[in-house]
Amino acid sequence: MSWTDEAPALHGLEQVALASLNRLAPVDVPEGAVLFSPGESVKGYVIVLSGRVNVCLTGASGREMLLYSVEPGQSCIQSTLGLMGDEAYTAEAVVATRTRLVLLPKKQFLGLLDSSAGFRTLVFSAFADRIQTVMQLLEKVAFQRIESRLAAELLKAAQGDKVVSATHQELATRLGTAREVISRRLEIWSRRGWVSTTRGKVVLLDPEALRALAQES
């Protein structure tokens, strides 16, 4: 079985395009590996088969903000823009969980954009979806209170459970704020009986209270 069989988004491509892609070999990348950093030139288009890659911006103060995560079937704006506009990376990509991926070299990527209508549609559709995700993030950062955003993130991360495995710094990075801001909010919520915190974990004691806060505009 070829690796393209593991990527449902590629199944509709022309046979010539699939043959070109199958000449590449997947690689396994360990958690914590840095795929690219600000200022580096873009080497190729990453196709994630399994795992997750986090793409973050770091400000002059050292504060980090999670722009988006790349999972199977999703694209990386930074790579697409760099390949088509010859721009260097402005963010950093770090492997969040053990990831299996394929790196499509720039020359081959541009060649497939020219020759394959299916590949072209795939790239631009994924790019449009990712732009929408970033626009939603900007809207939240600009117009939604940090309390509402934190409550929503905790509920999302719990995924039906009542325990969120994340440090205050990790939550701050996801929400584009400072660790101290997260710590203060969680301390207030702990006194109210909404949450309890231990090292690296947040337990949701009153999900309904958090849900009401998350729904505030």
8, 100, 164, 167 from 109: Cα distances, Å: 18, 19, 39, 38
Handedness of CA 116, 117, 122, 127 (dihedral sign): positive
Pairwise CA distance, residues 70 & 78, whole Å? 11
* End-to-end Cα separation, the chain, in angstroms: 49
Say whether domain 144-214 belongs to CATH 1.10.10.10. yes
pLDDT of residue 217: 57
- Identical fold for domains 3-142 and 144-214, yes or no, is no
Length of the chain: 217
pLDDT in 10s for each residue of the chain, 217 residues: 789 998 998 998 999 999 999 999 999 999 999 999 999 999 899 999 999 999 988 877 777 888 888 999 888 988 998 998 888 998 999 999 999 999 999 999 999 999 999 999 999 999 998 888 888 877 777 788 889 999 999 998 887 788 999 999 889 888 878 888 899 999 999 999 999 999 899 999 999 999 999 887 5
pLDDT of residue 37: 92
Domain 3-142 maps to which CATH number in 3.40.50.720, 2.40.420.20, 3.30.1050.10, 2.60.120.10?
2.60.120.10
Identify residue 72 by its one-letter amino acid code. P
Query: Which residue's structure tokens are 């969040």?
Result: 96
Query: Which residue's structure tokens are 């892609």?
Result: 21
Retrieve residue 73's tokens.
């079937």
DSSP class of 42? P
pTM of the model: 0.72
Report domain extents, the chain: 3-142, 144-214
